[in-house]
Amino acid sequence: MWIHSINPILIHLGPLQIRWYGITYVIGFLFAAWIIHKYRSHLNMSKDDVWDLMLYVVLGVLIGSRIFEVFWEPRYYLTNPLNFFKIWQGGMSFHGGFVGIITGVWLYARKTKRSFAQLADVLAMPSMFALAFGRIANFINGELWGTIADQTKIWWCVNFKNTGGGDLCRHPQQLYAAAYRFVITGWLWFLLSKNKFKDGFLFWNFVLLEGIGRFIVDFWREDTFWGPFTIGQWFSAAMILVATIMMIKLYRKEWKKIFSE
């Protein structure tokens, strides 16, 4: 067992604090901007267009993730609404960020008369990469604790007593989530490099695989249950269902292209 003792603050500059959590989001956004820039000719975008799109993405992620976070901790946010704006303390809902980024990209695509599916395909891989980094940041913050583990069997369990998790051995489910997302990132990068699929195929891969991964890993996450599953699992189940329907309806032939020349 390892006792969590990581300082979430990287640098103190007087009243200013630079936190690992914020750094991971900056890295994620910059990586997404780099990928969009790399494929901007395919998307018929200028350099200024890339940064305009990233503004929509950033706003969508921040607003959506915080709104959905209220589902997880309603008392914390409703008793003190100012907590909603303290994003540096963590608490960024994936499902809210997902809805937010879709909304932002859709609004940008509608405004500029571009294809939402093309934009979503290119953003899928860097978005998954950013999500993986985000879970590492959650681990550094000592939040989103895993369920209690048997220390005699789970030697890699972590004690989060310094961040409010009690003097208990817990699954580091944040790292489980980061691991599967890095794997999905590699898969999406592979698909993106092939550059021969119907628009929307990568996006729906993102939705399907993230839904499956999140649904499974949440079994090791301490969270609020609605019936037999956590809130996150219900949202993930909806993602799996919708993505499966879309794959069957629109993209059955695309799977044959994956390993073909």
Please tell me the predicted confidence (pLDDT) of residue 96: 79
Of 151-155, 184-188, 254-258, the range with the highest mean pLDDT is 184-188
Please tell me the predicted confidence (pLDDT) of residue 41: 87
pTM score of the predicted model? 0.88
The 10s digit of each residue's pLDDT in 88-115 is 555 567 777 888 899 999 999 999 999 9
**Cα separation of 238 and 143, whole Å?**
25
The continuous run of DSSP H or E covering 140 comes out as helix 116-141
- Note down the domain range covering 137: 2-257
- Counted domains in the chain: 1
Question: What interhelical angle do 20-38 and 47-72 show, nearest 10?
Answer: 140
Q: What's the pLDDT band for 82 if we cut at 50, 70, 90? A: low
